[in-house]
Structure 1
Amino acid sequence: MPLRTDEDWRHGAVLLDSEHTRFALWAPDAYYVSVELEDGPSLAMLPQNNGWFVLELRCPVGSRYRFNIDDERQVPDPASRAQAGDVHAPSVVVDQAYHWEHPAWLGRPWHEAVIYELHVGLLGGYAEVEKHLSRLAQIGITAIELMPLAQFPGERNWGYDGVYPYAPQASYGSPEQLKHLIDTAHGHGLMVILDVVYNHFGPDGNYLGVYAKDFFREDLHTPWGAAIDFRRQEVRDFFIDNALMWLLEYRFDGLRLDAVHAINDPTFLQEFAHRVRQQITPSRHVWLNLENELNQASLLQQGFDAQWNDDGHNALHVLLTGEHDAYYADFAHEPTHKLARCLSQGFVYQGESNRHGHSRGQPSGHLPPSAFVLFLQNHDQIGNRAFGERLSQLCPAPALRAATTLLLLSPMIPLLFMGDEWAASEPFLFFTSHHGELADAVREGRRGEFADFPAFADEAQRQRIPDPNAQSTFDASRPSFAALSLDTDKGLDHQQWQALYQQLLDLRHQHIVPRLPDTWALGSQVLAEGAVTARWRMGDGSILRIDLNLGAQPVNIDADPLPSEHIIFASPSDAAELSRRGTLNPYTAIVSLTATDALEEQDDQ
């Protein structure tokens, strides 16, 4: 069979038909590369321009293989579609064909998004995640977001130590089981988002530096080592093709790009969004979200739907807990004003200096509220705590209920972390399954991260921090969903939390979602410490207003009293009546929606 042209090459092993596979490896530092089949011969690959080695041969689905570099080292395929075990095991030729039960699924528009972040490993693998889909859809979730699946070393990991971005983690199940999970989710009306890591590789199992040093740039470093060199087209294609594989072959409905502030080439992100949008059928809804500490609002007008709003979380967390260590120090001064700015303009930091004296952010007030993903908790904000405590252990329950009301009924896009919806008490700890010197380094590095925290100033205190590599650390992080069915006071409390989430999400889908397109903020006002009022003009012209008091003291309200028929939710239930008397009690949230004609009638009176 004739070789294809260089622009047709894709990294890795691509099945051409039931019996033939094309292997392609970009190895500019290698003189000789061969494909070594586990049950067959070693076959020399043909060198091509620009450091490529390519070979097409008779090789059926399921074949295991490695690449031999200069007869000196055998390595897995960096674009392996599946691994026969761990990161050092052979790669496997995969048939990407799959019989979809819901081939007509086109997704859901972004304004309908209610996202539920989860860790596949803690729930027991792809097949076990499926068992939660019906309940989540019933509550009002519209999308699940899977923490990274790229093959990582060992069986336990958050996923951010992945080294083979194309290979779904083998310990979670097969590629076919992952597709079945996605297909089943679509049957429940759920989108599926994948968290992808394109800013670094994990520390164990990455052999790219052996034969493709140009994949990295030694003149520029990130917290994870030498930066990935996105100036190289081969490198850009490696990640863009990976994104297209997840979206086209696995039919994921969206991607969340981790820590793009560590990608030191803004043109890559622009090309990424353009090429993805170009390849997606216009009738499909595909969501592209960012995590970006730089608060680059400009990217949200260049093909990306939204950014995780860490600023909003941080302001809320300080108000709920009083904590101001580490990055919370940037929100310790006037946190209520910062929350008010978040509700009216999106980002809090829009060019102001942070605690390190560095300017951070771009103006964001011109963006719609749906450009920001708001959350009370996520994997980072829980898991980066020494003991992984959740808000249900850190703040009064009435305050958490009020903040949850804001989260689920504001025009921003809400994100929950698994267990939020029933106030899970289990921690979410940082866990890995490294061995030897790397395990020691990760353990000590984890404990060293907290050396500047007053609570861990003493070495003996830091030794109490759970060992990331211990099986017990992983086991302690499993949410105990059984608590939802226990007929005990504690179980009933969890059921009440889930009922609250369902009630609020019912209201969101009934009142907020249909009006969300073309919604714009009208401004916010600080009422007192911990208390704000915010207003938005919805797409149909109605006015959404949220009065929130996260403080422990009652607050006088100067705003116009709310007619009872305009209030769609109040927590606690008597809050609306008290507000009409000019008082906003502690730990209170009141949400109202006023139609344009009602506003005009008020003005006439």
Structure 2
Amino acid sequence: MTSEPNAFAFDTSWGPRLISNGAEFRLWAPSAPSIELAVGDEDAKPAEFLQMTKDEAGWWRIETDRVKVGGTYGFRLKDGLIVPDPASRRQAGDVHSLSVLTDPKAYRWTTPNWNGRPWEETVFYELHTGTFTPDGTFEGIEEKLDFLVATGLTAIEIMPVAQFMGDRGWGYDGVLLYCPHRAYGGDEGLKRLIDAAHSRGLSVFLDVVYNHFGPDGNYLGAFAPEFFHEDIHTPWGPAIAYDETPVRQFMIENALYWLEEFRFDGLRLDAIDSIQDTTDTPLVKELASAVRKTFPGRHVHLTTEDDRNITWHVERGETDQPLLVSGEWNDDFHHTIHVLATQEEEAYYGDYNRSSVSQLAKSLATGFVYQGEHSPVRDKKVGSPSDHLPPTAFVNFIQNHDQIGNRAFGERLTDLASRRVLECAQAILCLSPQIPLLYMGEEWGETHPFCFFTDFHGELGDAVREGRRSEFSKFKAFRSERLRELIPDPNAEATFRVSTLDWAVLERPNREMRHSQVTELLKKRQEIVVPLLKHVPKNCGAYQVAENGHAFVVAWTLQDGKVLHLFANLGDDPWSLPGNLNAEDLAAGELVHSYQGDADESLLKGTLPGSSVVFRMGDRMLVKGDL
């Protein structure tokens, strides 16, 4: 790190390091017989080769003044192959080009004293840089920051930006994990975006992938086969060898690098259940511990995606602070909402009962749906008890990039569910005490699809297109090969273009109305709910489900003994409240939100109308149902 007041850098084991007489270049390749530094000319072409020396740990090094800041370099292997730096900070071209030597302290921050926001204030807005605006750049995001602040969002979460092959892709095929994609604006553009966000009070999170590398441009195996375990297979090829110290350093220091040098406020760790770690200490545990130790004076947060429903990584300490990870993405919540809203039941949705809201109520009150129960789809017991955790240990969403983009045509929930059910779900998401996440465009009811897209060509492009279509052969709608051919080609530029947000629709009255609704919900969240989330007692949630299977009540005991009640009826018919929920008790609380408008008035008379949601705050728990 640096002591300069407005310049930040993180010294990593991998990658170049500026020194007084030039730069030191490093590469771990323990079994390589020879490594040379390739020095690029003015056209970023290899023009000179300097022999590097290897130490006992397998690191090849050289100090030289032949590469200036802004100059290009790479590494030449014994067989003549020239590769970029796997820890490149900037590329001269694509993932196969030479790397560029940068000065990490060159950028001068205008917000060097920004320390982030407390976790309980977080309202995530997940976005994809390339499709968020027509420009598809970090600068394009910057132009929309004021809109996001006015909406009530407090944190933008950017899908992976590590450079991948081509200019179009979700980012989960990154191969240069230290290098912000040049198509988006590179390292300088990313720093300007984060600086601008911080100046507006917005936190910025980055989605990172530590379970695999992309299929095009990953040269690690060419010079360091020790980086992978050929005998351990994953859906993306050999597992990463996390029992090798330099490999572990590559990933852990990558996380610290983003947080220090780019001043990110947090990271989302993608699919940690797919990390094949053979050591006694899980990578996530060591990485999270390093983050907590390195940034004690800043609000820095980690979130994770993991379909195992584990809880050890989101446990809280004596003062209710996260010990490792701040929040787990809760797929269970999404799946229950989705099934109730769409009546879909294929694939993993088969684990969720479309005729009952009990699973949704359980998830809201206690965290996961599956807390050790048998999963019919997975045919095994799934999950750990989560009812002791505070609601803020979970990140809830009704849409995200996966749940939209992994559909054949990338349809959004706006196109799949009725308006009233969708607006009920939106209110539940925004006002429940879990950490909410909205996907770009959700705040105005975007109907443009978000498709799966890549920028591969040749045999790889053919394999991705056909593999994508074959994935859907198990679905009833795509049993026919002719119908599968209608699924958009991921490599077609049109598939990418149709996924770009249409900002012009905000001028339409129905979109403006939806945006106003979301803005109102988030304003109420920050004013009424957030102040009660920092210290929440264990086992704070309870729920009660109607016999008709369409309505429920959830109650959470929050800070200072305040109790937030959610009354929801997702069916068409009115629900007569059970006897333990009488009008006098309900009226003792204060109204937080009512949808539809007269729902609360009806509730106080003992009936909750169909397709309605009411939130009320009181001083005592009214729910008598079992946890």
What is the TM-score normalised by the length of structure 1?
0.94
C-alpha distance in structure 2 between counterparts of 1:335 and 1:314, whole Å = 13
C-alpha distance in structure 2 between counterparts of 1:209 and 1:483, whole Å = 47
Where does residue 140 of structure 2 map in the other structure?
128
C-alpha distance in structure 2 between counterparts of 1:409 and 1:146, whole Å = 23
The letter for the 2-side match of 1:571 is Y
Gap change, CA 1:71 and 1:452, over 3 Å in 2: closer
* 2:99 paired residue among 80, 84, 91: 91
Where does residue 35 of structure 1 map in the other structure?
37
C-alpha distance in structure 1 between counterparts of 2:207 and 2:541, whole Å = 33
Where does residue 288 of structure 2 map in the other structure?
273
Question: Map of 1:315-326 to 2, 5 A cutoff?
Answer: 315-326=336-347
Where does residue 44 of structure 2 map in the other structure?
none
Figure out how many residues of one structure are paired with residues of the other and give that number.
584
C-alpha distance in structure 1 between counterparts of 2:355 and 2:251, whole Å = 41
Where does residue 563 of structure 1 map in the other structure?
587
1:538 deviation in Å?
A: 1.2
Residue 30 of structure 2 contacts residue 57 of structure 2 at CA under 8 Å; is this kept in 1? Answer: yes
Where does residue 187 of structure 2 map in the other structure?
175
The letter for the 1-side match of 2:242 is F
Where does residue 542 of structure 1 map in the other structure?
562
Question: Map of 1:75-114 to 2, 5 A cutoff?
Answer: 75-97=83-105, 98-114=107-123
C-alpha distance in structure 1 between counterparts of 2:51 and 2:605, whole Å = 83
1:202-238, Cα deviation, whole Å (9 max, x unpaired): 0001111112111111222111111111111111100
After TM superposition, the structure 1 stretch with the greater mean CA deviation from structure 2, 328-337 or 188-197, is: 328-337
C-alpha distance in structure 1 between counterparts of 2:327 and 2:530, whole Å = 16
* 1:438 paired residue among 432, 446, 460: 460
1:15 deviation in Å?
A: 2.3
After TM superposition, the structure 1 stretch with the greater mean CA deviation from structure 2, 509-518 or 8-17, is: 8-17
The letter for the 1-side match of 2:217 is G
The letter for the 1-side match of 2:26 is A
1:141 deviation in Å?
A: 0.4
1:22 deviation in Å?
A: 1.3
Residue 318 of structure 1 contacts residue 335 of structure 1 at CA under 8 Å; is this kept in 2? Answer: no
1:226-281, Cα deviation, whole Å (9 max, x unpaired): 1111111111100011111100000000000000001122521111111121111x
C-alpha distance in structure 1 between counterparts of 2:402 and 2:19, whole Å = 41
Where does residue 602 of structure 1 map in the other structure?
none
1:172 is paired with a residue of what secondary structure?
A: coil
The letter for the 1-side match of 2:88 is S
Gap change, CA 1:337 and 1:185, over 3 Å in 2: same
* 1:367 paired residue among 385, 389, 408: 389
Identity %: 47
Residue 564 of structure 1 contacts residue 576 of structure 1 at CA under 8 Å; is this kept in 2? Answer: no
The letter for the 2-side match of 1:435 is H
Where does residue 55 of structure 2 map in the other structure?
48
Residue 424 of structure 1 contacts residue 479 of structure 1 at CA under 8 Å; is this kept in 2? Answer: yes
* 1:573 paired residue among 573, 581, 597: 597
Where does residue 72 of structure 1 map in the other structure?
80
The letter for the 1-side match of 2:285 is Q
1:435 deviation in Å?
A: 0.3
1:441-479, Cα deviation, whole Å (9 max, x unpaired): 000011011101001111111111000000000000001
1:3-58, Cα deviation, whole Å (9 max, x unpaired): xxxxx8611112235x6211110112211001101125211111112211011111
Residue 366 of structure 2 contacts residue 541 of structure 2 at CA under 8 Å; is this kept in 1? Answer: no
Where does residue 499 of structure 1 map in the other structure?
516
2:143 is paired with a residue of what secondary structure?
A: helix
Residue 387 of structure 2 contacts residue 541 of structure 2 at CA under 8 Å; is this kept in 1? Answer: no
Where does residue 589 of structure 1 map in the other structure?
613
The letter for the 1-side match of 2:427 is T
Question: Map of 1:288-437 to 2, 5 A cutoff?
Answer: 288-301=302-315, 302-332=323-353, 335-354=356-375, 355-437=377-459
Where does residue 201 of structure 1 map in the other structure?
213
* 2:26 paired residue among 24, 27, 40: 24
1:595 deviation in Å?
A: 3.7
1:50 is paired with a residue of what secondary structure?
A: coil
Where does residue 488 of structure 1 map in the other structure?
none
C-alpha distance in structure 1 between counterparts of 2:19 and 2:444, whole Å = 48
After TM superposition, the structure 1 stretch with the greater mean CA deviation from structure 2, 226-235 or 105-114, is: 226-235
1:117-157, Cα deviation, whole Å (9 max, x unpaired): 00001121000000111011111100000000010000000
1:565 deviation in Å?
A: 6.2
More helix by share: 1
Where does residue 529 of structure 2 map in the other structure?
512
* 2:480 paired residue among 429, 453, 458: 458
The letter for the 2-side match of 1:535 is A
Q: Does residue 298 of structure 2 align to residue 287 of structure 1? A: no
Q: Does residue 542 of structure 2 align to residue 523 of structure 1? A: yes
C-alpha distance in structure 2 between counterparts of 1:595 and 1:188, whole Å = 35
Residue 12 of structure 2 contacts residue 257 of structure 2 at CA under 8 Å; is this kept in 1? Answer: no
1:343 deviation in Å?
A: 1.1
Q: Does residue 264 of structure 2 align to residue 252 of structure 1? A: yes
C-alpha distance in structure 2 between counterparts of 1:585 and 1:48, whole Å = 73
The letter for the 2-side match of 1:584 is L
* Structure 2: runs of 5 or more not aligned: 1-10, 42-46, 316-322, 623-627
Gap change, CA 1:90 and 1:47, over 3 Å in 2: same
C-alpha distance in structure 1 between counterparts of 2:167 and 2:457, whole Å = 12
C-alpha distance in structure 2 between counterparts of 1:319 and 1:14, whole Å = 54
Aligned residues: CA RMSD: 1.5
1:366 deviation in Å?
A: 1.1
1:269-321, Cα deviation, whole Å (9 max, x unpaired): 111111121111x2200010000111110111241101000010001100111
The letter for the 1-side match of 2:543 is S
C-alpha distance in structure 1 between counterparts of 2:434 and 2:267, whole Å = 18
1:530 deviation in Å?
A: 2.8
After TM superposition, the structure 1 stretch with the greater mean CA deviation from structure 2, 149-158 or 83-92, is: 83-92
Gap change, CA 1:257 and 1:335, over 3 Å in 2: farther
2:382 is paired with a residue of what secondary structure?
A: coil
After TM superposition, the structure 1 stretch with the greater mean CA deviation from structure 2, 553-562 or 282-291, is: 553-562
Gap change, CA 1:587 and 1:298, over 3 Å in 2: same
What is the TM-score normalised by the length of structure 2?
0.91
* 1:10 paired residue among 4, 13, 29: 13
1:312-331, Cα deviation, whole Å (9 max, x unpaired): 00011001110011111111
1:174 deviation in Å?
A: 2.5
